[in-house]
Chains A and B, each alone.
Chain A
Amino acid sequence: MRKSYKGLLSIFAIMALLLASACSGGNETSGDQSGDAAKDGAVSAKVGVISWLTGAGAGYGEAITNGLKLANKEIKEQGKVDIELITEDSAGKQEQALSSAQKLMNSENVSAIIGPTLSTEMKVVGPEADLNGVPIMGTSTTAAGIPQIGDYVFRDSIPESLAIPASIEKAIEKYDVKKVAILYGNDDVFTKSGYDTMKKVAEDKGLEILTTETFQKGQADYNAQLTKIKNTQPDLILCSALYNEGAVIMDQARKMGIDVPFVGGNGFNSPEVIKIAGDAADGLIVATPWFAGKDDQKVQDFVAKYKEEYGKEPDQFAAQAYDGMYLLANAIEKAGSDDRDAIRDALAETEGFEGILGEMSFDEEGDIVMEPTVLTIKEGKFQLFE
């Protein structure tokens, strides 16, 4: 018996040693940066980034970190704030997101955190950051209930509860909608949360919901659901799907002869839809915080710079991250130090901030307040919906 205890003990000892040795490097450098007046009066601060950099969703993480880096480069050049970004990978998993948050907060002593990528990760990381008093801002978390986690939790991505009503309202105005059909993916946080909003808005507007159909992630054939929807003859289809499933749905719907417009959630808003569905994508209406074709000098500068730096068009994740970085830098500048509480207070006071997404403010809960842009796909291109 004694042997087995010994074995167990030695395993733990080895583990602890490994961990300690691997991370001690980071430990030594932290702690001594007590903030202000590093060079030319610039406020210096450490900001942690938790992003999904490996695995299925690495594309999101890449866009986000690219946006952050680009913004940080510009901020450094302006010389008012000197931010050191420390990026950690979460692999899209809650456990890893939590571990990396603990690392950033305790080993690296960051003043604030940007990320994580997914709402599910935020639900695990948010309470811990709030408890430790570290301001944390999601740039891509759109599910309900995120800023309500605590005083230190913010986001600059517009929630579905703001985006979907805007697009439905405009669609009603234009097409004189009375009857709708709803189709949604019920095994994904994102699409499920979008559906809840759609249902609520449709009820509030007094629309008749003819049928509600569901599908699962990765499904390839939607004919059963679409046939049912077609038979009820709706004026409009509310479809809460991510772009990869959504594009296939539109394609199959058009082939079946359903020619009414679709209203999608934020996840449906991707240039990929046009690539996958082609002409069938015409008639999709989405509300988005980000429109690359906006007639605004700031937006066009960002698009040009991003293209030059990374060789591709920025998507909404890059844009939201870019603005998020500026929001935080602004707050750090106002706070005048890298003190966590001061940054939180400055962030909460943000009002009328002009970013590439538009004019942004935080409400008392830490949620973003801004006007989404409603877009539609026409002739194979995203255009303003009017």
Chain B
Amino acid sequence: MLAEIINPYYLQVLSFILINIILGVSIYITLSTGQLSLGHAGFMSIGAYTSAILTLNYDFPLVVGVILGALLAGIVGILIGIPTLRLQGVYLAIATLGFGEVVRVLFINWESLTQGAIGISSIPHFGRELVTGLRDTGFTADMIGIRNNQLISLLVFIILLVITVLLITFFVRQNHSRVGRAFAAIKMDENAAEAMGINITYYKVLAFAQGAMVAGFAGALYAHVTAYISPSDFAYHRAVEILIFAVFGGSEVIWGPIFGATFLTAMPELLREVSEYRYMIYGIILVAMMAFRPQGLIDHEMIYKIKSRKKKKKKVEDDKKERNRHGVGS
């Protein structure tokens, strides 16, 4: 029964969607203080390379490698965030873009560690490592009636799902906290926020470092899901792709980039039927979207409308119930 439902293909696509959602969240955090960063591909590559090298060359456990990768990306985020504090808008975008390129060129030329343009292959794979680990404890795929590769894909998906849900929960909660309100205030008007006594430096660097850390985290996960990375995976187009998640879905609320990442990753797969035309359609959708909803698909207004409609419905229903009760009563 289970064996027929679990198709590694769908799980694979869903896994990439989840990784892209994490990347979407990472760009959302930096954007939520009004900082436009094109350096997320760079942070992603730091996470990916750190974790890959630590687990492959120094036999670190996977979990430790991923966490250290994310932390290092976060630290680099702080280092980049402080000097670029004064930069805004396009200027910050260009500075961070430069940073991303520097990281990429560094990985190309640091051949003794990164094997240059050839990239690092046979990185420990999440699922495969886990399955061998489970086998040692006596649990195999046959026991729940599925094939080995199904179990691997399933495990990868479940791990990523749990991680993604936890991350989103954390940032939704943060948005409703003091920190989230400070971010929103800074995004609206930096000077006014400062006048209100908000420590601009602290919160902007915090947002930048958080974004960098989450991007590095996604990068590390990516490395252990594809088992191969090379510097060209983290070039300029990756940075733009990450930004598009937020621009397409909307960068005002966290659901925007999440939707953007989901939609834009699933789209090329869903369009496989039309083969060579799929990227044309993909492009047309992007253009149409920007023409009709430049603020992104999901914005505050939309969330507000959905919420108020729900409330109205509830109210109407409550009223009906009330009336019925009265009707019966009288």
Contacts and interface: CB of A to CB of B under 8 A. Distances in A.
Interface in A100-120: 100, 102-103, 105-107, 120
B232 A120 contact: yes
Given A89-B276, A120-B228, A193-B118, A187 B108 contact: yes
B144 to A, nearest CB: 17
Interface in B113-131: 116-119, 121-122, 125, 128
Interface stretch (A76-84, A91-99, A373-381): A91-99
Contacts of B269: 19, 22, 99
A143 B12 contact: no
A95 B237 CA distance: 14
A123 B119 contact: yes
B233 interface: yes
Nearest to B121: A123
Nearest to B258: A11
A103 B26 CA distance: 29
A224 interface: no
A189 interface: yes
Nearest to A146: B121
Nearest to B173: A1
B255 A7 contact: yes
Given A124-B228, A186-B117, A103 B168 contact: no
B270 A22 contact: yes
A102 B262 CA distance: 19
Contacts of B139: none
Contact of B118 (A23, A99, A103, A143): A143
Given A15-B262, A132-B149, A192-B118, A99 B168 contact: no
Interface string A116-154: 000010011001100110000000000111000000000
A154 to B, nearest CB: 17
B275 interface: yes
Contacts of A53: 275-276
A94 B228 contact: yes
A73 B88 CA distance: 60
Contacts of B301: none
A15 B14 contact: yes
A27 B269 CA distance: 15
Interface in B223-245: 226-228, 230-233
Contacts of B230: 120, 189
**In terms of DSSP, what is the predominant structure of the interface of chain A?**
helix
Contact of A99 (B16, B173, B273): B16
Interface string A156-170: 000000000000000
**In terms of DSSP, what is the predominant structure of the interface of chain B?**
helix
A18 B13 CA distance: 12
Contacts of B202: none
Contacts of A98: 12, 226
B272 A20 contact: no
A131 B9 contact: no
Contacts of A5: 169
B118 A105 contact: no
Contacts of A103: 9, 272
B91 interface: no
B226 A124 contact: yes
Nearest to A127: B227
A103 B7 CA distance: 9
B266 A18 contact: yes
Given A15-B262, A128-B149, 6 more contacts: A8-B168, A19-B269, A124-B227, A188-B232, A189-B117, A192-B116
Listed from nearest, the 8 A-B pairs whose CB atoms lie closest are A102-B9, A123-B228, A192-B117, A103-B9, A102-B12, A54-B279, A22-B270, A123-B121
30 contacts: A1-B172, A8-B258, A11-B262, A18-B266, A19-B10, A20-B10, A22-B273, A27-B7, A53-B276, A55-B279, A91-B268, A94-B233, A95-B16, A96-B268, A102-B153, A103-B9, A106-B9, A107-B9, A123-B119, A124-B226, A131-B148, A132-B149, A143-B118, A186-B117, A187-B108, A187-B232, A189-B117, A189-B230, A191-B117, A192-B117
Interface of A: 1, 4-5, 7-8, 11, 15-16, 18-20, 22-23, 27, 53-55, 58, 87-89, 91, 94-96, 98-100, 102-103, 105-107, 120, 123-124, 127-128, 131-132, 143-145, 186-189, 191-193
